[in-house]
Amino acid sequence: MTLPLLVLRPQPGHDATAAAARDLGIEVISAPLFTIEPVAWDAPPPHSVDALLIGSANAIRHAGPALAAYAGKPVHAVGESTAQAARAAGFAVTSVGTGGLQRVLEGITGGRLLRLAGEERLALTPPSGVSVTDRVVYAARPLPMRDEVANIIRAQPPGSLVAALHSAAAASHLGREMTRLDLPRGNVQLLALGPRIAAAAGEGWAAIHTCPAPDERSLLALAAQLCHTPPPCGRD
């Protein structure tokens, strides 16, 4: 028995996740719950910035014309997809993380960093000798769940659909939409990038799984495992 995967993340990451899942033989239900919009931001003087700290490719895509002022500044990226977006925009990538932006930050020995981020972001603790200036350059705006997706969830047997959660905002919004539409949470297993994301979804799901590492590769590997396994009972 194969279980379908509900992909909730906004474009363009939505299509990338969906395509990668299909390559693994997973049936995908396309259900983006957000759209990404740019946010006007006050760009610090380039001479006050030694490098950029980027936690999402969306920061590169939506920073707008002001991003060009930092051409030539090195980039520290949270992961490879973010690094690819930075390179495509003409930046040299100095470091690429695998375990979250805090871990990337801990590997930097000094300098003044400009963090370009979304409205939903984790607080960071810079190491000694490193300063971080935050600027919000994009926001994820919630969308209502489409009727056809709600009907699929309602018709599923218990635990026979897996929902991929890339952010705490997606987790909490999914929970709100399930409540608004009176959909049975017990029909859905959650697959979250990390414990904080899983916690934001609340209770009542068929099962909650968290990735061993907070990256897309880990999420897809676990999705393949879950979607080709009969529905479980309980919680990981």
**Assigned domain for 186 exists:** yes
Q: Which among 166, 14, 116 is positioned nearest to 124, based on CA atoms?
A: 116
Q: What is the pLDDT along the chain (236 residues), one digit of tens a residue?
A: 689 999 999 988 899 999 999 999 999 999 999 999 999 999 999 999 999 999 999 999 999 999 999 999 999 999 888 999 999 999 999 999 987 899 999 999 999 999 999 998 889 999 999 999 999 999 999 999 999 999 999 999 999 999 999 988 999 999 999 999 999 999 999 999 989 999 999 999 999 999 998 888 899 999 999 999 876 544 44
**Assigned domain for 236 exists:** no
**Assigned domain for 235 exists:** no
Contacts of 231 (CB under 8 A, 6+ apart): 1, 3, 157, 158, 159, 160, 189, 206
Same domain, 73 and 40: yes
Domain-ending residue, one of 124, 140, 156 = 140
Q: Domain of 113?
A: 36-140
**Assigned domain for 234 exists:** no
**Assigned domain for 213 exists:** yes
Q: Report whether 6 contacts 149 (CB < 8 A).
A: yes
Q: Count of domains in the chain?
A: 2
Task: Please indicate, yes or no, whether the overall pTM of this predicted structure exceeds 0.75.
Answer: yes
